[in-house]
Structure 1
Amino acid sequence: MGSERAESLFSGVTQIDERGGVKDWATDREQAVRLWDLAAELTGVNAFAA
C-alpha cells in the first residue's frame, strides 16, 4: 500500500512533554502507518496511491 508515503507524514513528529503536547502513543509512527493502510484497504480509497 502507501506505507512509505504515509510514514513520511510522520517523519517530523517528535515527542512533546505532558504539559502541552500529546501522549507517547499518539506519535507512534508504526501504528499510524498501519492505520492508514487499514483505512485504505477497508474503504478502497488510498490517499497515497501514486
Structure 2
Amino acid sequence: MQVGAADTFLENKEKNFKKDLLTSLATSTLYTIVVVVLVKLNIFSLPMELALP
C-alpha cells in the first residue's frame, strides 16, 4: 500500500530500491510501535479474540 501511494504521488522520481526498502521498514516499525503504545495505555483496545493475557 505504501509503495502504491508513493508511485501515485512521485511518478517522476527515480527509484532507489534500498532507500525505498529502508523507508518502508521504518514506517512499518513506527506504525507498530504507535499501535502497541496505544494498546498499552488503554487508548486503543483489541478485540477480545486478540487480547493479551
More helix by share: 2
Q: TM-score range by the shorter chain?
A: 0.3 to 0.5
TM-score normalised by structure 1 residue count: 0.41
Give the number of the structure with larger relative contact order, counting CA–CA contacts within 8 Å between residues 6 or more apart: 1
TM-score normalised by structure 2 residue count: 0.39
